A and B are shown apart, each in its own frame.
Chain A
Amino acid sequence: MDIFLQQLANGLTIGSMFALVALGYTMVYGVMRLINFAHGDMVAASAFVGLTIYTQVMGQATSLMAVIAIFLLAALSMAVVGIILERIAYRPLRGAPRLSAVVSALGASLVIQNGIMLIWGPRMRIFPELVPQVYWDFGGVVISLIQVIILVLSLVLMISLYLFVEKTRMGAAIRASSIDQDAARLMGINVNSIIALIFIIGSSLGAVGGLFIGLYYRGITFNMGWQYGLYAFIAAIIGGIGNIPGAMLGGMLLGLFNAFIAGYVSSTWADAFTFILLIVILIVRPTGILGERVAEKV
């Protein structure tokens, strides 16, 4: 029972990180039918940007205000990178064959990854201890302050995003653009702005995810975007790519699944089992658990 509860807590923590990152993949796919392979590398870049803001701008302060500022600045930086990425890597290729955009996405991924290596070096860096090491022991089940922060903040962000997309006028414009861009234009929706908005939101959430990865795992490397990006991408597919609640659900499920495999089987097998899970889900439900929110043209 202890293992169960412990892995439940761990699973929810990593699940929220997967979910935050998965949202970036799914939102871009929803409107552009494009897998933004550079997204995972932007998540990694965010952790390094956070590190630099901490040392260079905040003078290594760990006050609450400083930590909030680090989060905001990192999210802002990645939002800017996201907009630039869309402008130079994807917008010129709209209307081009799909494969061109895929190649461009892979290229952008390599550029960002190598950019991180160029700036911060190829060796692992240690992410600062922005949150005090506080632990609570509930009869053998240990939960850290970092875990609580990650979980709560992720939930707040995800619920806000959900409400924004479902309840606001701009959210309706996002949904309309992801269903039928031409019809959305006929409504007066500026689809280019919506796409920029999607990149801003997705990149900022990914940036928060990257900082969480730094906080939780501490060691950050220039190429970690591949690994975390892949997991988040799988989470998005499990939930149903293009489907926003699906990415949240897929991220949480994948996090829990990973934690339980690590707890009951072995963490070395977690990757293999993850792919088995993906394959099983795709066999049973090819469009993911909540279904793709895209192809349903009437």
Chain B
Amino acid sequence: MSNNSSILGEAGKKTLMMGNEAIARGAIEAGIKVATAYPGTPSTEIVETLAEVAKNLGIHVEWAVNEKVALEIALGAAFSGVRALVAMKAPGLNVAMDALMSATYSGVNGGLVIVVADDPGPHTTQTEQDNRFMSKITLLPMLEPSDPQEAKDIVKEAFKISEKLQLPVIVRTTTRVNHTSADVILGEIEVVKKEPWFYKEPMRYIRASMAWNLTRHKWLNQQMEKAKEIMENLPFNKLEMKGDEKVGVIVSGVPYNYLKEVIKKYVVKKVAVLKISAINPLPEKLIKKLLSKVDKVLVLEELEPYLEFHVKSLISEIGRNIEVLGKFNGITPREGEFSPEVVRSALEKLLNIKLGKRFRDMREKVLEEIKSILPRRAPPMCPGCPHRATYIALKKAIKRLGLKLEEVSVFGDIGCYALSLQPPLEAIWTEHCMGASIGMAAGLYFAGSRQKAVATIGDSTFFHMGIQPLIDAVQHNANITVIVLDNGTIAMTGHQPHPGSGEIATGEKVKPILIEDIAKAIGVKFVKVVDPYDLKETTDVLVEALKFEGVSVVVARRLCAILAVRRKLTGPPCYVDPDTCTGCRTCILQLGCPSLVWEGEKTVIDTDTCTGCGVCIQVCPYNAIKMEKEE
């Protein structure tokens, strides 16, 4: 939400910032030298914000090819003594995990902060993975903010902790921190003057000696002993307790905001509250302080009962009989995100009273009726999206080969093209994890199925994790067709550049790496590039590719329509000649382009949104759709 000047604003200034911008500012205040990420909602704006000011600050900011590479680059920088930040969405940590595990034994010299953005809801993520448990697997320190101000301050603090302990520190956020905007007070920007230098220390950086690994494992555990002290005194943990309360709440992350608001609004008294930002190691003394006073405790945390597990074990340690309200007795849900309502009703159960009025029946009835008549509005592919045309051509090719749609398995992947799951396309059969389509298609072939196997994968997804499975498929001579939907950008996450875009995060132009060159270098015998807007050519080539024995690769290349509009590369909109349109609705039923509007008897094109891609012209059986002449 901010522009350059506000992200670099003076200390003490109050600025409206999105959580991700606040995180970026925290990293700037900590004097980072390197920031990397692979985009993923809700983490993307962190590196996006840093990229905008990278030149001013003289730091390296980049979109890496995937999360593992992003982490490795940040690690290399942190080995040399400078501070580095890496950001990713929740499943990104799975991709980076291998690199991270070894980093726990080597440790770092300059501070290394890993921001992982979980997504209770989920709003835009394949699973509701709760990455707090990753701190137990990696044994690394983990912190969690509850709002944008804390996000900034905690990131800054995390760099100090990282250097004190010589360990990477994970800052775990959730969507409602990353994407919430709030007034944030800026802090001082530290000027870090450090000559980066990597000192050779084999025992730290080489994992080939088992004796060294054992030594480093012990070292890691020692460091985490020291971490306990730091976490116990972390200023972001807050215990609000007078000492005479009989009930208490232990809370972390976003629900703390709901709790504070409910307490204030309903003037709730005599409840001790412990807000925890130290996720690993937990501040056990602080928790015990609360547990030593109360008889009943509510644990408020989204997703899994991470805190609740620990609270229960601490209760058995101190040997008091305390009732715990949380996930195990169904007081709060394990799935989805919390809301003020969830927190209010949990608090009511803790206190055994009603807080505020409840809605009347009439209201519930109206809401039911609304629900029953409200059409859904899932995000469609944009007007003029090239992916739509590619899937139409694929369907036509399948039909031309005399096959039924059920006889060709279309493996999907992650990106805008996965929106093809919706009617009328209903094209993809799977959407699993980055790059999975190619391996799965090969797997179906190796299983001996008579079905044809097609993998459809986006350009960035191909660079992220699609090249290795393609190598595998070629090596084992799988009979599959791989369609790479090359729209020149990472569209789904907001149009970041990738290695094929000819551009990097900071805007400089570089030589694009072409997907067809990679395919040929791997040894694919059938490699063709098509323009999906040309339905006939694309269909012809796909027919050939499907007939080809072995791995065939078709690159469907056409710029993302949003970028084409932004760069003013689109032509005038198309229009339907009402005298020729018979009202057969073929255009809408085949394409489902949002600009094709059904007006009861005929189709009308919404000229505000139509990009003039001309694909509907090619499917209209009566030539009723025309392209406006450019003046």
A and B from one assembly?
no
CB within 8 Å of A: which residues of B? none
CB within 8 Å of B: which residues of A? none
